[in-house]
Amino acid sequence: AQSVAQPEDQVNVAEGNPLTVKCTYSVSGNPYLFWYVQYPNRGLQFLLKYITGDNLVKGSYGFEAEFNKSQTSFHLKKPSALVSDSALYFCAVRASGTYKYIFGTGTRLKVLA
Amino acid sequence: DAGVTQSPTHLIKTRGQQVTLRCSPISGHKSVSWYQQVLGQGPQFIFQYYEKEERGRGNFPDRFSARQFPNYSSELNVNALLLGDSALYLCASSSTDAGQRETQYFGPGTRLLVL
């Protein structure tokens, strides 16, 4: 069965510092991995995805994510956090040939000025 | 181009009532998926439709149903509402069906409150 784990309910980071939001997954076959961000009372906004190729994926708003097959992880990173990055972040996985995304429970990121 | 649109934005119903939520995908997208997001949790998959056919269904009771129209818009219907149906209902569209490498793009959601 497919699953996604986001082990941290909340991550606090000072503005200007690097940030990491963790995600691990379990899936049969090749994984398609996604990160979405959700602002209050809004839907999910796509940040980036890993399908195949380079393990470091660059996305919107300066975010990037590193795919690690041996550790089954897909951590979201940003070199320098902004207060405006404060939001709820979701990792999702979809196994190739399947029709649905499996989402993690979300990690609330708070960037402190 | 307009993104995924959903209507209404908010809805209040009482237990036992029925509700219909609507979604218009991004222009050119043929696949629509529905998700339920309960407060404090990640979205849970309900349905996916592609070219008006149901391609997948999550672990939701038969009270939940959906359909897709020739213009690729979609409706989600929930009958006999329960308090536990209170949630944000998200619609997502993609250009092809799942199994491809397409990204799903989400609408702003409809927030349903069941009293």
Contact: B104, A104; criterion CB under 8 Å: no
Task: Please give the mean pLDDT across all residues of chain B.
Answer: 92
Q: Which amino acid is at A99?
A: Y
Query: Is A49 in contact with B105 (Cβ distance < 8 A)?
Result: no
Q: Enumerate the H helices of A1-113 as residue ranges.
A: none
Q: How far apart are CA B115 and CA B71, in angstroms?
A: 34
Length of chain B: 115
Q: Is the pLDDT of residue A66 over 70?
A: yes
Question: CA B41, B46, B51: angle at the middle one, nearest 5?
Answer: 140
Question: What digits encode the pLDDT tens for the residues B43-59?
Answer: 999 999 988 899 889 99
Enumerate the β-bridge partners of residue B22.
B7, B75
